[in-house]
Amino acid sequence: MKKSIITGITMGEPAGISSEITLKIWKNYRRKIEPFIFFGDPDHLVKTCVKLKMKIPIKIIKNINESVDVFKNYLPVYKIKLSQKVNFGSPSIKNARKVLKSIDKVVNFAYKREISSVVTNPVEKNIINKKSKNFNGHTFYIAKLLKVKKPIMLLKSPKISVVPITQHLSLRNALKAINKKVIISIAETTNKYLKIFFGKKTPKIAVASLNPHAGDDGIFGNEEKKIIIPAIKKIRKMNIDAYGPYPADTIFNNKFSKQFDVIICMYHDQATIPIKTIDFDNGVNITLGLPIIRTSPDHGTALDIAGSGKASEKSLYASIKMSQDIARKRKLWIQ
């Protein structure tokens, strides 16, 4: 018997654009995607509707499978009551634990395979950190819940795909964290999940350099000669189709980058700047290495436009659709 594909969407930062873009997805795209459930406060959704002059019918559900029957006519909500009323643009520390509870609930349902994928709306890390110390973003928080030590962030769009070696570290600390072992490990996991998630038989991987002009034979730094090139040689011996290192000022050019399925980058901004410049609206953050499917929009909480009706839902739509496409391809939901 075929099991329905159902996506769980976290509430994100209530004072941001999450409620707005979730409502817009249901209104504009519900006939193009499989059902999803919003894990958050229904009263806040109603408040958002009033603010934006939208009429969206909402239905509180207690059983996950209820969403399949009601989705075309109602936006299904798994109720997580906020601790404090929301002022758009002004996050409240008092709601931080409920934001985390939303993530916890969705991840738990996904781990038990009651839902097929998780999509996380953006949060304010600094607000959550005041209640939950050492919160370093969704990726590592969810990995810790699932006891995964080395999650990997794949940022993917129809135009370009990138994986950063290091994520939320200062540039100084990121440079210290780059080594041969971590490059090999990330390339191996990326290669594996491009096959599992996207059906790539032989993924073609580019590796970006760290220094200008790929170090120019040591003139501008020796990390390429000592770390990156030896890592690529080892990766290729593992029958992984990897090439590089390529100078970062050329590899992201469309004529060059389209030859590869993904570009492995040395640090956070080296990966995020090109995808947000080239294809901001369609960028999706996918976590590799988890026992669940998790995606998220490649943007933040946009507090400056929260409650204004100006937020674009395109990246959230791309995240939902991609998570459901992956679930369908993996055939995890066939019993």
* 273 pLDDT more than 90: yes
* Same-domain pairing of 1 and 128: yes
pLDDT of residue 2: 59
Query: 169 CB contacts (<8 Å, ≥6 apart)?
Result: 177, 267, 268
The answer to whether 224 and 210 are in contact (CB under 8 A) is yes
* 133 pLDDT more than 80: no
* Same-domain pairing of 198 and 323: no
* 256 pLDDT more than 70: yes
Pairing of the two strands 262-265 and 284-288? unpaired
* Same-domain pairing of 145 and 50: yes
Share of the chain above pLDDT 90, in %: 81
pLDDT of residue 240: 97
The structural domain count of the chain equals 2
Enclosing domain of residue 261: 159-278
* 215 pLDDT more than 80: no
- What pLDDT band is residue 145 in, cutting at 50, 70 and 90? very high
Higher pLDDT, 171 or 164: 164
Query: CB neighbours (10 Å) of residue 168?
Result: 14
Closest CA to 278 of 317, 242, 251, 245: 251
pLDDT of residue 194: 95
Query: CB neighbours (10 Å) of residue 159?
Result: 14
Domain boundary among 255, 278, 301: 278
Q: Is residue 88 part of a domain?
A: yes
Query: CB neighbours (10 Å) of residue 105?
Result: 18
The answer to whether 288 and 154 are in contact (CB under 8 A) is yes
* 331 pLDDT more than 70: no
For the ranges 26-30, 96-100, 192-196, 328-332, the lowest mean pLDDT is seen at 328-332
Higher pLDDT, 11 or 170: 11
- What pLDDT band is residue 83 in, cutting at 50, 70 and 90? very high
pLDDT of residue 1: 42
* Same-domain pairing of 5 and 136: yes
* 160 pLDDT more than 70: yes
Phi-psi region of 134 (alpha: psi -120 to 50; beta: other; left: phi over 0): left
d(CA 273, CA 225): 25
* Same-domain pairing of 28 and 144: yes
* 239 pLDDT more than 70: yes
* Same-domain pairing of 199 and 55: no
Q: Is residue 283 part of a domain?
A: no
* 334 pLDDT more than 60: no
Q: What is the mean pLDDT of the chain?
A: 92
Q: Is residue 284 part of a domain?
A: no
Q: Is residue 187 part of a domain?
A: yes
Higher pLDDT, 172 or 137: 172
* Same-domain pairing of 307 and 269: no
* Same-domain pairing of 65 and 105: yes
pLDDT of residue 327: 94
CATH classification at residue 273: 3.40.718.10
- What pLDDT band is residue 333 in, cutting at 50, 70 and 90? very low
Provide mean pLDDT across the span 51-64: 95
Q: Is residue 198 part of a domain?
A: yes
pLDDT of residue 214: 76
Provide mean pLDDT across the span 272-294: 92
In the three-class reduction of DSSP (H, G, I as helix; E, B as strand; rest coil), residue 296 is classed as strand
* Same-domain pairing of 139 and 253: no
- What pLDDT band is residue 282 in, cutting at 50, 70 and 90? confident
pLDDT, one tens digit per residue, over 1-56 is: 457 899 999 999 999 999 999 999 999 999 999 999 999 999 999 999 999 999 99
* 192 pLDDT more than 50: yes
* Same-domain pairing of 15 and 104: yes
pLDDT of residue 257: 87
